[in-house]
Structure 1
Amino acid sequence: MGARVTRAFRNFNLDNRAEREISKVKPSAAPMHPTTKTLILEELNRHPELEEIVKRKDDKLLTLLKEVYVESKDPVPHVRVKDANIPQSTELRLLKGNHFNLMTSQNIPKGKISVVEALTLLNNHKRSPETWTAEKIAQEYYLELRDVKSLLMFFVAFDVKIFPANDRNKAISFK
């Protein structure tokens, strides 16, 4: 609905506004300062050959200009082609837990985790922080300790609390 109103205001009196803009006087070059005009005229009076030199075409420069040919090409992006003979330098690991669905399974490099694993480790830490410490999570998922500490400090899994039916006055809280 809002787009229709916006479009109506934008297109209101469009023809007249466009015609008014087109018929405006176009800006012209700034006029020369009077002292500049007089200096140019004085120089031309002293040296009349300057006007002829400025207006004359130089054949030598024209031939040099005709010989110049500029060819422009966009740079080719560097595409890494995987070669079957060269082994990959990054170490890969399998997903942790029971998330071995073959359709979504993928090799994850060491030092990285999937979204499912991130939610799982956040939930495990939330349920039992004594068991799932930052050090244990870093060791289990091959992560750096400072990254795990930052993850546990700044990311929180959702906790939905639904109150019993007898407390209708209380709202559902999201933590």
Structure 2
Amino acid sequence: MLDIATFFPNGIGHYALGGLLIGLGATVIYLATGIIAGASTFLESTLSYVSKLPRFNQGKYLRSRDWRVVFTLGIVGGAAIYAFLFNGWFTTEVQWWRLLGGGFLVGVGTRLGKGCTSGHGVCGIGSASQTSIVNVVTFMAVAIGTAQLVQALGVSP
């Protein structure tokens, strides 16, 4: 018999609550604005404040960038507050340069996949988008494969 405690030693309540809050947030943003709440698009619109590149200064970004910056700050600020209150500033033993490299690769992946896990995984799958389903299957397969390879190679944080 499957023992849930093996996979979730701290319980599943906080995961369920987090999922509900993410879903609620994506729903509120979509109902209020008609915009899918993808974090990579929110970052691009925020860059319109500091960049003159046409890619970041599209009308759709300029019209909605003020509330999008609040969303982006909420993601970063919420994580920082949680980390500070419950775990200290650093919640991982992974070396900073690996986090930086991983973040860069995730950024490249969001450009190649034309979106991120929040846009494709939360909103895209929720709306039965075939493109999003293919993207989520692809990045999950790559992530699982990479994790298995790194573990097999004996790489540690």
For Structure 1 versus Structure 2, the TM-score category normalised by the shorter chain is under 0.3
More helix by share: 2
- Please say which structure displays the higher CA radius of gyration: 1
Please state which structure has a larger fraction of its residues in strand. 1
TM-score (normalizing by structure 1): 0.20
